[in-house]
Structure formats: C-alpha cells, structure tokens
Amino acid sequence: MAATSDRTVYRATTTAPVNIAVIKYWGKRDATLNLPTNSSLSVTLSQRSLRTLTTASCSAIYPAADELILNGKPQDIQSSKRTLACLSNLRSLRQALENADPSLPKLSTLPLRIVSENNFPTAAGLASSAAGFAALVRAIADLYQLPQSPLELSRIARQGSGSACRSLMGGYVAWRAGEREDGSDSLAEEVAPASHWPEMRAIILVVSAEKKDVPSTEGMQTTVATSSLFATRAASVVPARMAAIEAAIQNKDFPSFAEITMRDSNSFHATCLDSWPPIFYMNDVSRAAVRLVHDINRAVGQTVCAYTFDAGPNAVIYYLEKDSELVAGTVKAILGSNTEGFDGPFYDILKSVTASGVPLDKIDSRVVEVLKNGISRVILTGVGEGPISVEDHLVSATGDILSS
Amino acid sequence: MAATSDRTVYRATTTAPVNIAVIKYWGKRDATLNLPTNSSLSVTLSQRSLRTLTTASCSAIYPAADELILNGKPQDIQSSKRTLACLSNLRSLRQALENADPSLPKLSTLPLRIVSENNFPTAAGLASSAAGFAALVRAIADLYQLPQSPLELSRIARQGSGSACRSLMGGYVAWRAGEREDGSDSLAEEVAPASHWPEMRAIILVVSAEKKDVPSTEGMQTTVATSSLFATRAASVVPARMAAIEAAIQNKDFPSFAEITMRDSNSFHATCLDSWPPIFYMNDVSRAAVRLVHDINRAVGQTVCAYTFDAGPNAVIYYLEKDSELVAGTVKAILGSNTEGFDGPFYDILKSVTASGVPLDKIDSRVVEVLKNGISRVILTGVGEGPISVEDHLVSATGDILSS
C-alpha cells in the first residue's frame, strides 16, 4: 500500500516546562545556530503551574505543507527559519532510523500537523518560546521514536530558541556554551534533578500592563556589539559564577545560590544599560521588588529569597518551601488576597497564613506602595520535571485539531 | 601690638560654580585623600544660574575655634575631617608665606569665620558639596593671598570633596586621577575655557519629590569593592573616553561629545546596578528623560542633545545654544510653562518660542506623560566661568555674620 493511501494519523503529545535562568543567557556568538557567548543555568519550573501542551502528528491525509497551530492560530512555518531548522533536523534523524530499519513507517516523508497550547495567563507576559520549542522538539522526537537523549535533542531545540534547550530537562539545567563553530558542543545538561533539591519555590510577580516600562529597544546583539563591559561579563564573570552556583546547587546551599542569582541578574541588566542605545527592562516596580527581597532578607537575618529578572519588568523570587510564609506570605500581605494567582497547587501551604511573614514595618513603606499598585498577579510555582509524555492529544485519531 | 589686641577683620569673598561631569567620578583608590580610581571631566555651569557665595574671614576678635556657617546654620567643623584637611593645608601655605616675609600679618594664627550660602532652589536636589568646597578653598586662598594656581589649589579642594576640585575652574575641566600615593598628581586642569565653546547649554530636569525613587543604598566604595564590571570601566573604558571627549571638546564636535557623555553616564549607572547590594539612582522618570533625548535626536536626524545622570534621578541635558528651541523648547512644550524654572538669564532665547521644537507626536506618548507628572522644575543654564572674587561679603567689617 502506498503511503498516500494510508489514512493512519501518527501522534505523540508532550507537555514542556518554562525555565527561569539564574545565570543569564544574553548574547549570541552565532545568530543562525543560536550559539551563546556564555553558558547559562536555569531552574525548570513545575508544569503544575505553567506548561505548553503540544501534539505532533503526521499523516498522508494532511496537506503537503507542514502545519503549526499555536493557541488556535495557524503559524507561517515557512517564514520561521528557526522552526524549519528544528523540523529539518528531526526529520533527518528519523530518516536515518528508517534507512537503518526499512520495516519502519516512512514518517519522515509525511506532512506534519503540530498543535500547541500554553496554559499561561495571557497577562503574565512570560516568554513562551522556551517551553514552546522544547515541547515541539520533544513531541516530534516522540512521534518519530527517536533514540536521542534530551542532551542530544537540546542541540536541536537550541536552534529554535536558545533557552528552549534548557526546558528539555527538569530540575537544575546548565546550557554549556561550547566552543565548536558548528555548535555541536553547545548543549543543555541536567546539573541536578528536581528530586535533588525539590524544596525550591518561585513566586512570579507580574507587573501590571500600565506600569510597563517606556518601550525599550530590543536586542541582545546590541549589547554584544556596543557594551564596553559585556566582554568582561562573558569572559570571566559568568564562568566563575557557573562553577559557584553549580556547587551551591550540589550542596543545597540556598544563601550562595541566592546571592549568585541576584548578582547575575543585576550584571545582565547592567550590560543592557551599558548598551548603545541603552536597554532598560527593569522599571520602578521591578526595583521595588529588588528592595523587598533585600528588606525581607535583612529582617530575617539571613538570605531566604532571591530575585531575578529576564528581559522584562516581572520579578521571579526564588525561596525554599520552608520559608514560604516568610517570603510568599509577606508578598501576599503586601498585595492582598485580591491579587490574582494566590491559588493552585503551590498555594496550599499559604492558605492558613493570615499574618505577614515579615512584619510590614520592616519593609520600606514606599516599596509596599509601589508593589501594591504595580503588581497585577502572582504565579506560585517551584522546581519541576522536564517534558512529560501525555495522552491529551490536541489532534484526533482522524487528524482533526482539538482544543485542550 | 600683639595679634590679640588687633581688631582687624580680614575678609575675602568668592562665588563658585556647580559642575556636572560628563565622564563620571565614581570610586576612590584612597578614601582619606579622595584619590579617584579614574579620571573624570566636567562642564562648569554658569553662576548666573547656580552658585555658592562664600566669605572667608579671620580676626583676633573671633572665638579661638574656627567657625563655618552654611546657609545660616553653624557646622561642626571638628567632626568634618575633610573640612579640617582643607583648612590645615591652606594655613600651611599661608604660614610658608609668612615665614618667607615676616612683614605679612600672621593670618595663619587667627581663627577663621567662614560664611557660605547657596542660591540653589531647595527642591533641586543638587549636590552642593562641589561648589561649597571650591568656594571655601578659593575664599580662604584669597584671604591668605596665596600665590597658588587653581591647579595647585585643586589638590586641596579635592580633599574636601572629590568633584570640588573641578569647580575651581571654568569651562571644560579634567580631573586627572594621577598615580602617586600621596595624591600630589591628582589635580584638576582646564581642558578648554568657557570662551572656547561658549554655546554649551544645559537644562536640568528636577524630579518631583513624590516621584523620587525607592531608597537606594549609597556608596561608591560598594561599587569598587563588589562590582565585577567596575575594574574594566576604570582601567580601560574611562581612559579611552577621556581622550575622545577631550578631542571632541577641542574640535567643538557636539555629536561626539554627546554620545560619549550619554554612554559614560550609562556605564556609571551600570556599575552601580552591578554593585552588591545593587545601587539604583535612575528611576522611571529618569528613564523617560533618556528616551526623550533619543527621541529628539531621532526626530531631528542628528545628535542635538545628551543626557547625563549623577547619583540621583535628576537629568541634565546638554545641547548647543542654536538648538535651544529644538531641545529646551520641546521640554517646555511637554512640561508646560507652569513648571518652575522657565525664567532667568538663559530663558531669553525661549521666551518667544510657542510651538514644540520637535513635534510632540515624534516623542513616545508614555514618555510625555511620565515627564509631565514627574518633573517639578527645570533649571536653564550653560557653561560658565570658575570662581569669581566679589565684594558682597557675608561677614561685616566688624566681623558680624550677614545674609546675602
């Protein structure tokens, strides 16, 4: 029977997580291959809070051109070199399997239909590309039954979106910059599984839309090309921090983990400010979150929380579960329970908390006011697992697009 | 006649200017001698806008302890090592003169009474220490009729307040970091007099008190001790910029002067952010001013203005007189003429301006709103002269304290 008359719909579905870097990726040494100027390290966040769900399917009944539907909207794959690179790499790996074992169905020759949905709150302003490309690569690799390890697949996901390579694994994940020109050694690897240090928690403070910064010119390449401080960061600051934070993770040393995390976030934003023209991601609300963390740590007398900021004003605050009341409890006391997001699986421990973890008179009063007016929602989460294979397919057995 | 029975009151009065650095002084290599980690360069601002007026007097009729009255308030000189260092250095120079010429009155043995007043608007939030120590040193040097040049006196003023050494001269002034441990080569010198490039103008945007930033930890020594990017700035970034901006000043090349000024301000604030704990001086209003300057330059199609920020949120925007309408006219159109400070000697050129220099639809609308709500006053000024000897004494011929 010719492939064209076979009406089989092959499917595989996966969820993939968001990751938030503690050592920041900023700057590419090769923009086509997404090779970074420095290594980075992230915490994979629990898919009980945030996840992308992706079904990869292929069938002879599909139109000839590969299809990608994100949150219900068909995407123009042909205009996305990054997506094309991922698909082409994965097809080649499948083809190699098929060449080695002629009994396998020729999936590499069939059109793909990929359907993906995020469960992120629309207003969260979270970059979804990392989870999205990780899910896409993992789902197709499952569809194709590829034997490659997550480490090997990270080389492909990286080409979709740099930080996506870190979402292929759970726990604490390093992306080694590598040295080779072809990027073959620029891979993500698990530094420690979530089970090694499962107590890590994160609360994401989402800055209200109307409090967003004045628009900033985008672009890490601006920093690489223009910042006179960036080379020092890439060449010496980050390598030292990578070694130190990996040791902190191995030793479950939260104060060290926290200080390195905060300093690296500051260093990253410093090189943005040093770019020309300057790039600003943090705003007054972000800075109030910085101050909140320092005030909580000072009030407690030890480092129980750490902030980090990506390319936007939202704060991610890491803490350990045992300090939930001190950290998330204080945030809740400041924001009030009317703020969206005080719910979900990570809220249980806070349900019974009524007083502020740290007395609010230990927090600068202007910080309290700026946060109260500037934060519209929180997301409670924690360290979690890598992509998970599931049966909630977004494509029916007959090839129809479903909704989750 | 013994000195104690002589009722003569010796007096000298001077005004001294504020200066605003375009290459920033940040970090000391010796905190006692105020020796900087890097050279810096400033524009001396006109005393027609901002000045300190200081009378130095000495007399046998005064109480034995030196006195200093600032803005009507007696200061505790004994607790200010910096003031004591200045007085002691100046007395030594006077004593050397008296030793060489016994006919001179023994002023070095007489108690001092120093009275000083700033004309700065109280709400301006301008650091007055530079003008203050420059006036103090200049007034006492005049009182003592010291032959030392401003360059030689800058060594003394520097010990009062680092940036004070640059307020002893007019125009464009470099403070050479120097190399010697005793600081004898850490001196300010005029790179070009005001008359070389008299068209330089500045508008200071004073951020409203209620829009002031969340408090930040102070301290340049924090940056030196903790920023992993600071050493690169001090060792290589600033030296290259010093050479480049001096050439720009000699060539009256405003676009180069402007870009270096903006980049150095950003670099300085980047190292503050990279400090531990991080130091923030710029806030959302400051960042709106940054964006305003970039938007004006983009709309005009060339660089006609440049921002710089000291250790606070206020913006100083440099521009040339010929571009007053484009730059200050746009600021006026945004802030409205109700904002304080659209007056004084530098306002004449703007009086007849009714429309915005740059159409307001070329400026980001959020920038316009943030500035309108966040700036309480402006100060219009320009490049000016160094200290000027005047006869408006703040001490009467009989030693009484006067008010200006």
Proportion of chain B above pLDDT 70, given as a percent: 96
Subunit contact B228:A267, Cβ cutoff 8 A: yes
Mutation to test the A interface, candidates B211, B214, B217, B309, most A Cβ within 10 Å? B214
Q: Looking at per-residue confidence, does B127 or A376 come out higher?
A: A376
CA distance A240 to chain B (A): 11
Residue B4 confidence (pLDDT) above 60: no
Residue B210 confidence (pLDDT) above 90: no
Proportion of chain A above pLDDT 70, given as a percent: 95
Amino acid at A330: T
Structure tokens at B377: 């006053």
Write the residue in A214, A228, A276 that is nearest to B370 by C-beta.
Answer: A214
pLDDT-based confidence at residue B208 (cuts at 50, 70, 90): confident
Closest CA to B74 of B125, B40, B115: B115
- Whole-angstrom distance, CA of residue B105 vs CA of residue A57: 101
- Whether the ω angle into residue B150 lies within 30 degrees of 0, i.e. cis, is no
pLDDT-based confidence at residue A208 (cuts at 50, 70, 90): confident
CA distance B131 to chain A (A): 29
Q: Looking at per-residue confidence, does A122 or B162 come out higher?
A: B162
pLDDT-based confidence at residue B123 (cuts at 50, 70, 90): low
DSSP assignment of B1-55, as one string? --GGG---EEEEEEEE--EEEEE----EEETTTTEESS-EEEEEBPTTTS-EEEE
- Whole-angstrom distance, CA of residue B115 vs CA of residue A352: 63
3-state secondary structure of B281: coil
Neighbouring-strand partners of residue B175: B40, B188
Longest CA span, chain B: 76
Structure tokens at A324: 């939930």
Write the residue in B214, B288, B290 that is nearest to A278 by C-beta.
Answer: B290
Residue B25 confidence (pLDDT) above 50: yes
Subunit contact B278:A267, Cβ cutoff 8 A: no
Please state whether the predicted TM-score (pTM) of the whole model is above 0.80.
yes
Which secondary-structure segment (H or E) carries A297?
helix A284-300
ipTM for this prediction: 0.93
Residue A232 confidence (pLDDT) above 90: yes
A265, closest residue in chain B (CA to CA): B274
- Looking at residues B183-206, what average pLDDT do you find? 97
pLDDT-based confidence at residue B337 (cuts at 50, 70, 90): confident
- Looking at residues A349-367, what average pLDDT do you find? 89
How do residues B284-309 score in pLDDT, each as one tens digit? 999 999 999 999 999 999 999 999 99
pLDDT-based confidence at residue B3 (cuts at 50, 70, 90): very low
Subunit contact B229:A271, Cβ cutoff 8 A: yes
Question: Looking at beta carbons, which residues of chain A come within 8 Å of B364?
Answer: 214-215
CB contact at 8 A, B226 and B212: no
Chain A contact present for B271, CB below 8 A = yes
- Whole-angstrom distance, CA of residue B297 vs CA of residue B258: 11
- Whole-angstrom distance, CA of residue B248 vs CA of residue B41: 12
| Of A272-276, B238-242, B353-357, the least confident | B353-357
Mutation to test the B interface, candidates A38, A263, A281, most B Cβ within 10 Å? A263
DSSP assignment of A215-239, as one string? P----HHHHHHH-SSHHHIIIIIHH
> What pLDDT does residue A127 have?
66
Residue A151 confidence (pLDDT) above 70: yes
> What pLDDT does residue B227 have?
97
> What pLDDT does residue B75 have?
94
How do residues A236-252 score in pLDDT, each as one tens digit? 999 999 999 999 999 99
- Whole-angstrom distance, CA of residue B291 vs CA of residue A215: 9
- Looking at residues A367-383, what average pLDDT do you find? 95
> What pLDDT does residue B271 have?
98
> What pLDDT does residue A1 have?
39
> What pLDDT does residue B158 have?
96
Listed by number, the residues of chain A in 25-84 with a beta carbon closer than 8 Å to a beta carbon of chain B are: none
Question: Looking at beta carbons, which residues of chain A come within 8 Å of B213?
Answer: 284, 287
Structure tokens at B243: 């050479």
Q: Looking at per-residue confidence, does A6 or A97 come out higher?
A: A97
How do residues A166-205 score in pLDDT, each as one tens digit? 999 999 999 999 999 999 999 999 999 999 999 999 999 9
Amino acid at B110: L
How do residues B356-398 score in pLDDT, each as one tens digit? 889 999 999 999 999 999 999 999 999 999 999 999 999 999 9
Structure tokens at A209: 């839309």
> What pLDDT does residue A353 have?
79
Listed by number, the residues of chain B in 348-367 with a beta carbon closer than 8 Å to a beta carbon of chain A are: 364, 366-367
